[in-house]
Amino acid sequence: MKQINIAILGCGVVGTGVAKLLMEKQPLLESKIGASLNLKYVVDLDTKTDRGIRFKDGVFISDATKAIDDPTVDIIVELIGGKGVAKDFILRALKNKKHVVTANKALIAEFGNDIVKIAAEHNSDFGFEASVGGCMPVIKTIRESLVANRINSITGILNGTCNYILTKISNEGCLFDVALKEAQAKGYAEADPFLDVEGHDSAHKLAILASLAYGMRINIKDIHVEGISKITPVDIEFAKDFGYTIKLLAISKNNTDKVEARVHPTMIPTVHPLAHVNGSMNALTINADATGETMLYGAGAGMMPTASAVLSDIADIARNIMVNQNLNSDSKPVTRIPILGFQDSNVRQISIMPITEINTCYYIRLAAADRPGVLSKITGILGNCGISIQSVHQKGRQANGPVPVFMITHRAVERDVQQALKEISELDAIPENPVVIRIEEDITT
Q: Is 249 in the site for its own copies (CB under 8 A)?
A: no
Which residue in the set 39, 208, 251, 296 belongs to the binding site for its own copies (CB under 8 A)? Answer: 296
Closest CA to 127 of 313, 306, 307, 300: 313
Nearest to its own copies of 345, 400 (CB atom): 345
**What are residue 283's DSSP bridge partners?**
157, 297
Question: Is 25 marked active-site?
Answer: no
Nearest to its own copies of 259, 364 (CB atom): 259
Closest CA to 280 of 162, 105, 154, 134: 162
Quote the CA–CA distance of 336 and 22 in Å, as a whole number.
23
How does DSSP classify residue 204?
H
Q: Is 320 in the site for its own copies (CB under 8 A)?
A: yes
Q: Is 97 in the site for its own copies (CB under 8 A)?
A: no
Q: Is 334 in the site for its own copies (CB under 8 A)?
A: yes
Q: Is 3 in the site for its own copies (CB under 8 A)?
A: no
Q: Is 328 in the site for its own copies (CB under 8 A)?
A: yes
Calculate the alpha carbon distances from 19 to 58, 185, 247, 257, 442 in Å.
Answer: 15, 27, 34, 45, 43
Closest CA to 77 of 139, 130, 132, 142: 130
Q: How far is the CB of 252 from its own copies (least distance, A)?
A: 18
Which residue in the set 62, 171, 346, 425 belongs to the binding site for its own copies (CB under 8 A)? Answer: 346
Which residue in the set 23, 178, 337, 367 belongs to the binding site for its own copies (CB under 8 A)? Answer: 337
Nearest to its own copies of 197, 216 (CB atom): 216
Q: How many residues bind its own copies (CB under 8 A)?
A: 69
Provide φ and ψ at 241, rounded to 5°.
Answer: -60, -30
Q: Which stretch binds its own copies (CB under 8 A): 74-82, 119-127, 160-168, 289-297?
A: 289-297
Q: Which stretch binds its own copies (CB under 8 A): 24-32, 59-67, 77-85, 393-401?
A: 24-32
Q: How far is the CB of 200 from its own copies (least distance, A)?
A: 25
Contacting its own copies within 205-224 (CB under 8 A): 215
Q: Which stretch binds its own copies (CB under 8 A): 27-35, 42-50, 104-112, 243-251?
A: 27-35
Quote the CA–CA distance of 391 and 310 in Å, as a whole number.
48
Quote the CA–CA distance of 97 and 356 in Å, as a whole number.
44
Which residue in the set 219, 297, 369, 380 belongs to the binding site for its own copies (CB under 8 A)? Answer: 297
Calculate the alpha carbon distances from 154 to 47, 253, 273, 363 in Å.
Answer: 41, 7, 14, 22
Cβ burial, residue 331 (10 Å; 0-12/13-18/19+):
exposed
How does DSSP classify residue 142?
I
Q: How crowded is the C-beta side of 51, counted as CA atoms within 13 Å?
A: 22
Contacting its own copies within 360-419 (CB under 8 A): none
Which residue in the set 49, 256, 331, 400 belongs to the binding site for its own copies (CB under 8 A)? Answer: 331
Q: Is 308 in the site for its own copies (CB under 8 A)?
A: yes
Which residue in the set 4, 11, 21, 73 belongs to the binding site for its own copies (CB under 8 A)? Answer: 21
Per the CB < 8 A criterion, the answer to whether 22 and 6 are in contact is yes
Q: Is 130 in the site for its own copies (CB under 8 A)?
A: no
Nearest to its own copies of 79, 378 (CB atom): 79
Quote the CA–CA distance of 85 and 404 in Å, as a whole number.
51
Per the CB < 8 A criterion, the answer to whether 269 and 281 are in contact is no
Q: Which stretch binds its own copies (CB under 8 A): 167-175, 327-335, 386-394, 416-424?
A: 327-335
Task: Write down the catalytic residue from 40, 140, 168, 205.
Answer: 205
Which residue in the set 4, 6, 8, 29 belongs to the binding site for its own copies (CB under 8 A)? Answer: 29
Q: Is 349 in the site for its own copies (CB under 8 A)?
A: no
Q: How far is the CB of 269 from its own copies (least distance, A)?
A: 12
Which residue in the set 19, 90, 106, 146 belongs to the binding site for its own copies (CB under 8 A)? Answer: 146
Closest CA to 231 of 216, 243, 248: 248
| Strand arrangement of the beta sheet that strand 60-61 belongs to | 60-61, 36-43, 3-9, 75-78, 99-102, 126-127
Q: Is 147 in the site for its own copies (CB under 8 A)?
A: yes
Quote the CA–CA distance of 190 and 83 in Å, as a whole number.
18
Provide φ and ψ at 303, rounded to 5°.
Answer: -55, -60
Which residue in the set 10, 112, 298, 434 belongs to the binding site for its own copies (CB under 8 A)? Answer: 298
Q: Which residues are catalytic?
A: 205
* Residues at the interface with its own copies (CB under 8 A): 17, 21, 25, 28-29, 31-34, 129, 134-137, 140-141, 144-150, 215, 273, 276-277, 281, 288-299, 302, 304-305, 307-309, 311-312, 315-316, 319-320, 322-324, 326-329, 331, 334, 336-338, 341-343, 346, 445
